[in-house]
Structure formats: structure tokens, C-alpha cells
Chains A and B, each alone.
Chain A
Amino acid sequence: MDFDFNDEQRMLKDSVNQLIADRYTFEQRKSYMKDASGFSRDVWNQFAEMGLLGLPFDEKFGGVGYTDGGAVETMIVMEAFGRGLTLEPYLATVVLGGGLIHRGGNDAQREALLPKIADGSLMLAFAHEEAQSRYNLADVATTAKRDADGWLLTGEKNFVVHGNCADKIIVSARIAGDRASRDGIGLFLVDAKAPGVARKSYETQDGQRAAQIRLSGVKVSSNDAIGDPDKALPLIEKVTDTVLAAVAAEAVGAMSAAHEVTLDYLRTRKQFGVAIGSFQVLQHRAVDVLVSLEQARSMAYYATMMANDPDPAERSKAISAATVQIRRSGKFVGQQVVQLHGGIGMTLDYKIGHYFKRLTAMESLLGDTDYHLAALARAGGLIEASA
């Protein structure tokens, strides 16, 4: 048992934190949001230079080549991103899109795509959720029909994180089976500019970007199916779990930063002639925030450790358990840091509200609290009944 980072991980942490400190002040972030794409190309290129964009990939595909897929390293990076409330499409391109290609693609696809992700020249998005799917990963109504030398995709996808800027979109579509059956789902790589692809980009409440994507008989070549086009669900689940682990770390970063900002405020804001942090009722609230944050941090570690567990049932139970804690802590911390600030917490010009908004956006990412609690409960929970 060991909670320490090794030297290399400590260096990574320092350099990413430095990058966030240099490039992600609140004012800088505001200027990035004004860009048409909603983030900074410049910062993105800097991620590439630092090797962050190839972090989870094998060396031969332009990555760093960590033994366990860089789970701990991803956690370190995502926590720093959470602190900075970064806007770049890291999760969509590297963890999600890159993860699907790295774990599910064939060598030709990996050789063609991963080095481009790593050098910053290719952005990906994963178009999976649909209006009716309500977090159920198996609920896919978009169809893929056999065409002479490939497939024809038809359907509508929503909540496509960073679908606005993706060069290529990985689309899930059903080739067989009922709407929510586990079998019969395939993954297809679609050029964002291909005929028949209509995307409507939008801004999300936390200042990030996403898209709704309509596919009207989009032609895809057989070579652009990822993995077995009949059995993609286990791959989707696996990569989703690594994304949830990464989001857990991001949430912890956002919560920690919000907590620190709040403590500063409690120490400096004066009312009735004293710092408001001297009031017991506010102290106890701040302690409740700390406890909730530390519980979340522990579960982010747990998610990181379990994200690549070879047993899918154990893995998904652990990830759901971690997600329940993260979502609950995120909501509690987000609401309390606003309350502890009073009126200033309500203003758009002050950063605390932006942590709250990002934490809120994360709540419905790949399943909300109730969804994951139900999944954990159905699977029997974490502790076995005594004999």
C-alpha cells in the first residue's frame, strides 16, 4: 500500500500545475472562451509539446508508454485541469476518442490516428448518447446498414462533448438487435465534414462546448469500423470507465481549488469587525466541505486503481461507487462554496461560481448519481452478505 507518486509522476504534476498557473488565470480563461472554438489552440499545442496528448498511448503510436495505460498520470493531469477549469478537448480527444482507438482499433487505425492525436493535429469526439438513451450505454437507436463496400449511418446523437471542434467523430450505431440490446452495436469512424453529417454546436452551462449531430445516410468504409462492428459495447463500457476515473480526478481538482479559494475568503472577508471565518457556523460548514472533498479524493484514487481492472464486473462496480461519491461531493462542495461566499459567489465575474458550474456539468456526464447508485445496488454493492 503506497499513496506516493514516483519521481516522474511528481515532475509531471509540477509541470502541469505550472502550466495551469502560467496559462490559466481566471482572466486568461475568459479570453480563451471568446475564441470561436471555445478554447485555446495555443494551450493545446503546449499540451502536445509536453507529451500530455499521447499520455495513455504506447510508444510506437507516439505515446509515452506507461505500463498501466497511464491511469495515475491521467489522474494527475486531470486534477490539474480541474483546478484550472481548462476548456480544451482533452477528455474527448485523448481519454475518450484516443482510448477507443487505442483499445479497440486495429494497428492500421492506431498507426494512422494516435500519433496525430499526440502531436495535436487531430481532435476526436465520441457521438454515442441519444435523446432517449438516458445514460444507458446500450440504448442506441442510430442505425448502421450494410452498403456495397461499407456502412450507411442514420440517426441523431446528442451531448457530444467537444463535438464542435472534432476533426473525426466516432459514432456508435446499431447493426442488429432491439434498441437497448447489448449485442449489435458497432463503432464507426466518421469524418466530421463527410456528406450527410450535420452538427449543431452549442455552449454548455460550464463554458465548454458540445454538439448535436445528425447523420443522414453517412457513408463509412468497412475499414473505418472500429473493432468487431457487432460487439462494441464492452469496449465502450471499458473506455467509459476510464473516462469516469479521469472525470473523478478533474472533479477533485475543481473541488480542492474551490475549497482553497473559499478558505482565503473566510480568512479575509470581514463583517461585524472580524474575519467571517471566526464564526463557528461557517467553520463547521467549511469542515463539512473538507470532509466531503477528502472522501471524494479517496474515491478518485480508488477509481484510478480500478479503472483497468481485468474483471469487468468488479471494475464497473468500483467505478459506479466512486462516481456516486464524486457526484455527491461535487454537488455539496459546489453549493456550499457559493453559500460561504455570499453575494460574490453569485457573480459571473468571480471564479467560485465557475467551479460550481463545472461541477454541476460533470454531474450528468456518463450517468448521474442515481444511475450509478442503481447500477451499484443492482450488482450487489461492494460488501458481500455474511454467510
Chain B
Amino acid sequence: MDLRFTADEIQFRDEVRGFFRTALPASIRRKMELGQRLSKDDIVTWQRILNAKGWAVPSWPVEWGGTDWGPVKTYIFKEEMQQAPAPDPLSFNVSMVGPVLIAFGSEAQKKHFLPKLANLDIWFCQGFSEPGAGSDLASLRTAAKREGDHYIVNGQKIWTSRAHNADWMFCLVRTSSEGKPQQGISYLLIDVKTPGLTIRPIHTIDGEHHFNEVFFDNVRVPAENIVGEENKGWTYAKYLLGHERVGIARIGAAKHRIQRAKALAADVMIGDTPLSETTRFREKVASIEVELKALEITQMRVVANSVRLPKGAADPTSSILKLKGTELQQATTEILMEVAGANAMIREPDHLWGTATEPSIGPEWTTTTAADYFYMRAASIYGGSNEIQKNVIAKRILEL
């Protein structure tokens, strides 16, 4: 038993760290450090830099542009990326539709889509949730009816992140009402520019536009865009649950926020004492650091264990990582709120977007704090709410 990284792993970490230091464009780094919102261009630019290096899709098989790193190095890579801090490659492409196509797609789909997914030539969004199908996803009703060599899609999706940036959507649709609800679902790829498809923005409590409603009114989708077999879509979607074990806890991002909070607190004066020197603040931060360290090791245990699992098998422990990881993401945004104090309540969207022409009213870094805090509440809701994660753990780990 040795919790330290091997010499080879440390060398790899230094290589990755060096790459992020030099390859990440200064403007993107600055936005990331200040917590400012990234434009579509920023995300595309960065993913293409990664792809040119061969690092956009490290978890994919080598033949599709991936690496042979294995879980430990992949983990190191992701943590370093979050701590740089650099943006994640687009998860819809890299961690969701990509792996599903690799596992279940046709050769033609793989050849057509995978290189474009890696290079972000095509931006995918996820069409899963519906107004009546949230945690109970299998009750979804958006219908796809086969007519000749097309599916005709009618219905509505909601909470569709960045649909307004997207070129394509991977979508769960109902193709049958026979049997259990899970048995009549198919996994369909839809070009969002198809006539009859409408995207409307939903503005969230951070004042931003992340989510959308998507309406389907007789949208004609070529039948060849179905992934795998008809009515097997639920299996394909479930394949991803617990599959993305590495980096799910986002320790690197939480660490980065703690590093910032500590540095910024040194400049916030409470009378003659910097906030960073007060006992209350120090103990509150130390408390989070303890939980973070514990979760970091829990994450490494899951990573180490995943070497032993059959390829593609899910580790239910990853639900623990999601649960605790999101709590700590939220706790770290709360600490930054506390450091920013009343400044956090000044709303200056230009500064959030990095497009301001005038100086901010308070310190510039505080212009993004509240938006981060508000938006981070979503972390314990999306991807299966934390309550759903607890149901999963109770059933699959505790066997209750």
C-alpha cells in the first residue's frame, strides 16, 4: 500500500502541468481564474488545442483518438486541468455521446461523428429531461414515429444545457408504449437545424442563459440516426451512469477555489486584521480542506479499484463521489461568497462575461462570485439529483 504517485506518474503530472501552463491561452486562463463565463469560441479554441496534442478525449480507445493512459493518469490529467484552471473539454461530446457511439454506434456513425466530436467541429447537447420526466426519466413522452426511412419526432425537452450553442442533440425518444416504460425508449441523434425544432432560452437564478426548452413539431430525422437498436435507448443511456468514475468529484476545481479564497481573504480587512487571520475563517476553511482531502483519497481508491473492474462496468462508489463532490463544490463557492462579502451582491453582467469597458464597482474578482454560488446549486440537481444518488447507493451498495 502506497498512496503516493510513482516516479512515472509524477513525471506525467509535471508534463501535463507544463503543457497547461504554456498551451492555455492567456485570455481563457484569465477568465477561468476570475470565474468569468466562457464563450463558445473559448471552449472550441481550447478543445482544439487539446485535440491537436491528442489529449481531447483521453478516455477513448486509441484508434478513435484516445490514449492508453489508464485510470490513474487520466485522473491526474483531469485534476491538473481543473487546477490549471483550464476548461473541461465539452462533456456532452467527450464523456456522453462519444462513449455511447464507441460502444453501440454503427461503423458509419463512428467514422462520421467521432473525429468531429473530438475536435468540437460538432457541438452536441443532451435531450433527456422533459417537463414531466425529471428524476423519473423513463416516463419521457417525446415520441418518434417511424415513417419510411425517417422518424417523425414530436414533443418537448427541457433543461437542455447549451442547446443554443449546439449543432446536434443526442435525444431519448419514445418509440414504443409496450411493456415497461424503459423498454420503449430509443437513442436518436438529431440535427438541431432540422425544420420544426425550436429552442427557447431559460434564464437561471445566476442571471445567465445555460438552459433551454426544445420543442419538436413534426421534426423529420433520418432513420440512420438511431444509435444501436430501436427500443434499447435506455440501456445505452444507463451505460454512462457510474461510468465516468474519473474526475467526477472535481477535487481540482474545489481546490482551486480554496486557493483563491485563501489568497483573497488576505486582502479583506476586518478592522486591523485580515480575514485570512481570523480563527473563524481559518477553521471554516480548514474544515472543508479536511473533507476535500478525504474525498481526494476516496476518489483515488475508486480510480485504483477501477483498474480491476471489467471494461465498461460501473462502480456504484462513483455515486458517493458525485454526492460528496457536489456538496464540496457548493461549500467552496460559499466560502468565496463569504470572502467577497456585500460586494458579491453588486450585479455587473459585463464583468461576468469579461466584456466590460469600465472598471467594476467593487473588486473585479467579486463580480463573478454570486453567479458561481447560485449556479453551483445546480450541481446537486443535474446528472441525477443527490437524492437519486442516495437511492442508487441504498439499492446497489447497501442492498436495502
A, B: real partners: yes
Interface residues of A, Cβ cutoff 8 Å to B = 1-6, 9, 72, 263, 266-267, 275, 277-278, 280, 282-284, 286-288, 290-291, 294-299, 301-302, 304-305, 321, 324-325, 373-374, 376-378, 381-387
Among A5, A6, A278, A377, the residue within 8 A (CB) of B282 is: A377
Q: How many A-B pairs fall under 8 Å by CB?
A: 150
**Known contacts A295-B324, A299-B294; A283 and B300 CB within 8 A of each other:** no
Known: A283-B400, A373-B286. 12 other contacts (CB 8 A): A1-B72, A4-B1, A4-B304, A267-B400, A284-B394, A291-B320, A295-B324, A298-B294, A383-B292, A384-B262, A385-B259, A385-B263
**Known contacts A1-B4, A277-B400, A386-B259; A284 and B290 CB within 8 A of each other:** no
Among A266, A301, A384, the residue within 8 A (CB) of B3 is: A301
**Known contacts A286-B394, A386-B263; A295 and B291 CB within 8 A of each other:** yes
**What is the total number of residues of chain B having a CB less than 8 Å from a CB of chain A?**
51
- B57 is an interface residue with CB less than 8 A from chain A: no
Contact in complex: B279, A374 (CB < 8 Å) = yes
Chain B hits for A385, CB < 8 A: 259, 262-263, 266, 276
Greatest chain A CB density within 10 A among B283, B290, B399 is at: B290
Contact in complex: B393, A325 (CB < 8 Å) = no
Contact in complex: B293, A302 (CB < 8 Å) = yes
Task: Considering the complex, give the chain B residue whose CB is closest to the CB of A284.
Answer: B390
Contact in complex: A278, B400 (CB < 8 Å) = yes
Contact in complex: A378, B262 (CB < 8 Å) = no
Contact with A along B261-296 (1 / 0, CB 8 A): 011001000000000100100110111011111111
Contact in complex: A2, B1 (CB < 8 Å) = yes
- B323 is an interface residue with CB less than 8 A from chain A: yes
Among A283, A302, A304, the residue within 8 A (CB) of B390 is: A283
15 examples of A-B residue contacts, CB within 8 angstroms:
A2-B1, A2-B3, A6-B1, A72-B1, A277-B400, A280-B394, A283-B391, A284-B387, A291-B320, A295-B295, A305-B2, A324-B287, A325-B290, A373-B287, A376-B289
| Docked complex Cα distance between A177 and B320 (Å) | 50
Chain B hits for A266, CB < 8 A: 400
* Chain B min CB distance to A2 (Å): 5
Contact in complex: A9, B1 (CB < 8 Å) = yes
Contact in complex: B291, A325 (CB < 8 Å) = yes
What are the nearest 4 A-B pairs in CB distance?
A: A385-B262, A298-B297, A283-B394, A377-B282
Contact in complex: B300, A1 (CB < 8 Å) = yes
Contact in complex: B295, A374 (CB < 8 Å) = no
Task: Considering the complex, give the chain B residue whose CB is closest to the CB of A378.
Answer: B282
Chain A hits for B323, CB < 8 A: 287, 291
Contact with A along B1-43 (1 / 0, CB 8 A): 1111110010000000000000000000000000000000000
Interface residues of B, Cβ cutoff 8 Å to A = 1-6, 9, 72, 255-256, 258-260, 262-263, 266, 276, 279, 282-283, 285-287, 289-298, 300-301, 303-305, 317, 320, 323-324, 387, 390-391, 393-394, 397-400
Among B9, B295, B397, B398, the residue within 8 A (CB) of A1 is: B9
Contact in complex: A1, B394 (CB < 8 Å) = no
Contact in complex: A325, B266 (CB < 8 Å) = no
* Chain B min CB distance to A126 (Å): 27
Among A2, A5, A6, A382, the residue within 8 A (CB) of B289 is: A382
Task: Specify the main secondary structure of chain A where it touches its partner.
Answer: helix
Task: Considering the complex, give the chain B residue whose CB is closest to the CB of A289.
Answer: B398
Chain B hits for A381, CB < 8 A: 262, 282, 285-286, 289
Chain A hits for B283, CB < 8 A: 373-374, 377
Task: Specify the main secondary structure of chain B where it touches its partner.
Answer: helix
Contact in complex: A294, B320 (CB < 8 Å) = yes
Contact in complex: A305, B400 (CB < 8 Å) = no
**Known contacts A298-B298, A299-B294, A321-B293; A377 and B279 CB within 8 A of each other:** yes
Chain A hits for B304, CB < 8 A: 1-4
Contact in complex: A386, B2 (CB < 8 Å) = no
Chain B hits for A373, CB < 8 A: 283, 286-287, 290
* Chain A min CB distance to B258 (Å): 5
Contact in complex: A287, B287 (CB < 8 Å) = no
Task: Considering the complex, give the chain A residue whose CB is closest to the CB of B266.
Answer: A385
Among A305, A325, A384, the residue within 8 A (CB) of B4 is: A305
Chain A hits for B258, CB < 8 A: 383
| Docked complex Cα distance between A291 and B150 (Å) | 47
Chain A hits for B4, CB < 8 A: 1, 305
Task: Considering the complex, give the chain B residue whose CB is closest to the CB of A277.
Answer: B400
Contact in complex: A376, B290 (CB < 8 Å) = yes
Task: Considering the complex, give the chain A residue whose CB is closest to the CB of B3.
Answer: A305
* Chain B min CB distance to A130 (Å): 25
* Chain A min CB distance to B341 (Å): 18
| Docked complex Cα distance between A304 and B297 (Å) | 13
Greatest chain A CB density within 10 A among B256, B283, B305, B399 is at: B283
Contact in complex: B263, A387 (CB < 8 Å) = yes
| Docked complex Cα distance between A263 and B9 (Å) | 39
| Docked complex Cα distance between A381 and B301 (Å) | 23
**Known contacts A373-B283, A378-B282, A386-B259; A1 and B6 CB within 8 A of each other:** yes
**Known contacts A295-B291, A296-B294, A302-B297; A3 and B259 CB within 8 A of each other:** no
Chain B hits for A383, CB < 8 A: 255, 258-259, 262, 289, 292
| Docked complex Cα distance between A79 and B399 (Å) | 24
Greatest chain A CB density within 10 A among B2, B266, B276, B289 is at: B289
